[in-house]
């Protein structure tokens, strides 16, 4: 997917008359107050509004070219712009109004049907050129009137290429995180321009079935007096859903030019503070890395003509109810007094997703109740199967393997969220059978994403060091809701006998060591006393990554009957692991410290750790 490399230029060369027309009028005392709206609303208010404005369907395939056109466009001579069905235009409007609601602005933007022709023409000409331009050249064979309409549409629109839905386009405009857009976040600022009252969308698929889209963005049909504000922030003050803001997206604060002096910007600085750990980012004009930590003050007419833009580096993934305080200093009021703006944004998760992050395996006829991540929405989740002939999933997330093959299942698969997992269904003889004592935990572990399909086998056989490491790191990813491979993308493995990112990550984070400085011995097995030490490290590291203390517990006076067989170095870890219920003994009060850890024992071990971590 790509976004316009050209589109950010359009606002730099607007006609002077258009710039003059953008001057804002003073706010009315009875107008909607952005600061009050964002400060007063609850998480439930936001979820309710999401239910009103969510996309018409999950995924990104619902706007295929075979569905969306009332009249299909022609990308060959004689060219035709085509016409989009109203319900798909409405889907784009829902996206616009949802992000405006989140910004504290009136969420009543409507479609302007009179602009439909120019928006389709703009999409058509970019589809023909297979690139985005606000000033496209005339394609050979295009008539003058169609080209004139295309020029006007392209000049006054946000443009997108490669994404198949208007909803996704709007969220892409709001992100504005690319190096050609971050300095002004112009697409975002036009959409959250207080004066916007109407818009229109266009989309044309080229000969290669790539979607090119346009969104009219320069409407000023709303009197400025309707909206009262000191600033308009993205993400806004108060509660904000993390689903619509990625951690590499820039923050922006558009300041009311009627209240703040946009000619005095040299002293403006920003401090961003994460409340849970006190981590601070300070920004000033020296922060100019468009691919990393960034800061800029932009005063051109992209909607509100005064914006402070900043992006932190190394912010990581958001935690539950992750609060950040923004402080902007060095401002001056319109009357010349020194001023500052300060607010707190708290990110929360609206919708749960699937806990499983990696493919799972089922036997034909087997059922599985899928585990879900935390989310404010507790009912009415949208579960789907990619192919009901292979896997069925009901309204409560219970999966049934119906026929041989592979397909995906999803929950709340909106907004490019990671909420799909593939299920492989076998209809032949199973590769062994889990022992009765482990069966219930095996099913729970699989439902919670702990048992990916490569490890769903050989249940009574010993697990190797590399297999245990992969499963443990995947469990930590599930617990954190993060892709940990990003931490070691540029890190070279210290071992000569294995090149696996999970091993590199685990060794770097103190979970498992090599058997020598340059050897990992990936195919060696693990004893149960070694497993006790390893699971304590997994438990402690995951707690650390979640920003909370990890007590490894005390060592009780009771001893296993085979205590004398436990290696001296392992005794404390064995009893700590069992006292924490991370690990269990065996029959007749035995621990069997030198016994090899099996696959099914690993399932139970990791499930115990997972459930202990979830309880905290």
| Digit-coded pLDDT (tens) for 133-154 | 999 999 999 999 999 999 999 9
- Does residue 2 surpass a pLDDT of 60? no
Q: Which H or E element spans position 324?
A: strand 322-332
Average pLDDT of 41-60? 97
pLDDT in tens, 377-421: 999 999 999 999 999 999 999 999 999 999 999 999 998 666 789
Average pLDDT of the chain? 92
Predicted pLDDT at 211: 98
Q: Which of these ranges, 423-437, 448-462, 511-525, 551-565, has the smallest mean pLDDT?
A: 551-565
Predicted pLDDT at 418: 63
Q: What are the chain's domains?
A: 2-348 (3.40.33.10), 353-432 (2.60.40.1080), 461-615 (no CATH)
Average pLDDT of 481-493? 91
Tokens representing 102 are 């989140």
Confirm if 56 and 91 have CB atoms less than 8 A apart: yes
Q: How far is CA 431 from the centre of its chain?
A: 36
DSSP bridge partners of 331: 339
Confidence of residue 539 (pLDDT cuts 50, 70, 90): very high
Predicted pLDDT at 547: 77
Give the whole-angstrom CA distance, residue 159 versus residue 162.
10
- Does residue 20 surpass a pLDDT of 60? no
Predicted pLDDT at 419: 77
Identify the residue with better confidence: 556 or 162.
162
Strands 294-298 and 307-311, by their bridges, are antiparallel
Gyration radius (Cα) of the chain, Å: 28
Strands 338-348 and 238-241, by their bridges, are parallel
Confirm if 373 and 317 have CB atoms less than 8 A apart: no
Could you identify the residue written with the tokens 């397909």?
407
Instruction: Count CB-CB contacts under 10 A for residue 54.
Output: 20
Predicted pLDDT at 15: 27
Confidence of residue 204 (pLDDT cuts 50, 70, 90): very high
Percent of the chain with pLDDT over 90: 88
Predicted pLDDT at 17: 29
Confidence of residue 3 (pLDDT cuts 50, 70, 90): very low
Average pLDDT of 319-346? 97
pLDDT in tens, 156-200: 999 999 989 999 999 999 999 999 999 999 999 999 999 999 999
Predicted pLDDT at 529: 98
Q: What is the pTM of this model?
A: 0.88
Predicted pLDDT at 482: 85
């Amino acid at each position: 997917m790509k976004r316009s490399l050209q589109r950010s230029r359009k606002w730099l060369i607007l006609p002077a008359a258009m710039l003059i027309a953008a001057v804002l009028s003073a706010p009315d005392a009875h107008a909607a107050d952005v600061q009050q709206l964002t400060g007063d609303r609850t998480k439930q208010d936001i979820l309710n509004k999401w239910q009103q404005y969510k996309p018409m369907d999950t995924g990104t395939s619902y706007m295929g070219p075979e569905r969306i056109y009332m009249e299909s466009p022609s990308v060959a001579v004689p060219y035709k712009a085509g016409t989009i069905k109203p319900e798909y235009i409405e889907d784009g409007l829902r996206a616009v109004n949802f992000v405006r609601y989140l910004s504290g602005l009136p969420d009543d933007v409507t479609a302007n049907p009179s602009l439909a022709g120019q928006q389709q023409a703009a999409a058509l000409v970019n589809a023909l050129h297979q690139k985005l331009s606000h000033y496209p050249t005339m394609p050979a064979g295009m008539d003058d009137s169609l080209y004139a309409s295309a020029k006007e549409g392209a000049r006054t629109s946000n443009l997108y290429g490669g994404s198949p839905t208007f909803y996704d386009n709007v969220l892409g405009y709001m992100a504005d995180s690319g190096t050609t857009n971050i300095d002004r976040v112009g697409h975002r600022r036009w959409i959250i321009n207080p004066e916007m009252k109407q818009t229109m969308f266009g989309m044309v698929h080229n000969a290669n079935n790539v979607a090119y889209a346009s969104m009219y963005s320069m409407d000023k049909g709303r009197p400025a007096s309707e909206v009262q504000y000191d600033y308009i922030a993205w993400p806004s003050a108060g509660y904000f859903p993390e689903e619509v803001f990625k951690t590499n997206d820039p923050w922006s604060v558009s300041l009311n030019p009627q209240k703040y002096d946009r000619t005095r910007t040299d002293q403006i600085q920003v401090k961003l503070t994460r409340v849970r750990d006190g981590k601070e980012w300070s920004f000033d004009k020296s922060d100019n890395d468009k691919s990393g930590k960034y800061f800029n003050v932009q005063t051109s007419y992209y909607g509100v003509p005064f914006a402070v833009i900043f992006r932190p580096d190394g912010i990581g993934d958001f935690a539950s109810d992750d609060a950040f305080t923004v402080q902007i200093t060095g401002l001056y009021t319109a009357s010349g007094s020194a001023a500052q703006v300060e607010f707190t944004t708290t990110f929360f998760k609206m919708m749960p997703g699937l806990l499983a992050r990696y493919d799972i395996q089922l036997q034909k006829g087997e059922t599985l109740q899928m585990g879900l991540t935390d989310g404010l929405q507790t009912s009415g989740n949208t579960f789907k199967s990619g192919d009901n002939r292979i896997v069925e999933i009901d309204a409560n997330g219970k999966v049934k393997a119906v026929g041989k093959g592979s397909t995906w299942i999803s929950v709340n698969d909106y907004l490019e969220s990671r909420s799909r997992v593939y299920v492989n269904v076998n209809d032949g003889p199973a590769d062994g059978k889990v022992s009765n004592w482990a069966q219930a935990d095996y099913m729970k572990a699989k439902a919670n994403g702990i048992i990916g399909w490569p490890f769903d086998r050989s249940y009574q056989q010993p697990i190797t060091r590399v297999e245990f490491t992969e499963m443990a790191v995947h469990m930590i990813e599930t617990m954190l809701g993060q892709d940990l491979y990003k931490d070691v993308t540029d890190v070279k493995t210290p071992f000569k006998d294995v090149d696996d990112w999970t091993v590199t990550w685990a060794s770097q984070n103190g979970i498992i060591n090599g058997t020598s400085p340059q050897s990992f011995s990936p195919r060696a097995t693990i004893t149960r006393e070694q497993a006790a030490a390893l699971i304590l490290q997994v438990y402690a590291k995951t707690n650390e990554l979640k920003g909370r203390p990890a007590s490894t517990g005390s060592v009780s006076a009771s001893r296993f009957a085979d205590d004398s067989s436990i290696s001296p170095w392992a005794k404390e870890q064995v009893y700590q692991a069992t006292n924490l219920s991370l690990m269990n003994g065996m029959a007749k009060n035995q621990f069997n410290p030198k016994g090899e850890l099996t696959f099914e024992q690993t399932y139970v071990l990791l499930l115990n750790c997972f459930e202990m971590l979830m309880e905290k």
